Amino acid sequence: MGWGDCGTDSKGRPIGYVFPATCDHPDCLEEIDRGLAYACGDMHGEDEYSCEKYFCYKHKMELIKTHDGRYVAVCEDCYNESLWDEEE
C-alpha cells in the first residue's frame, strides 16, 4: 500500500499526499496536501506525537525529541504540550 491514499483521519478527512488541503493553522491559506511531509509529528497513532493536523512548513517548525531518541517536527501547540510532558 502506498502513502497516497491512507484512508481518513479521526475527523473523517481523507489523508495521504494525493489529497490537496490548506494548512490547519488558523488564518493560513498555504496550499499543502495531507501527506506525511505536512503531518504534525510523525505518523498518526497512539504512540506518536501528533494532533492529527497538517501544516505548511512555516507552521510545523518546532522539533521535539521522542522517547526513542528521534526528532520530529510538530506544530506550536504540540510543542508547548510536549514541554509539560517533559516536566512530569
Q: Tens of pLDDT along 11-68?
A: 899 999 999 999 999 999 999 999 989 999 877 655 567 788 999 999 988 888 888 8
Sequence ranges of the domains in the chain: 16-87
More confident residue, 83 or 64: 64
The answer to whether residues 44 and 11 touch, using CB atoms and an 8 Å cutoff, is: no
Q: Which three cell numbers stand for residue 84?
A: 509539560
- Could you tell me which of 65, 41, 66, 40 has the C-alpha nearest to residue 53? 40
In the block, cell 501528533 appears at 50
Cell readout for 64 is 521535539
Cα(5)–Cα(49) distance, rounded to whole angstroms? 21
Output the pLDDT for position 32. 97
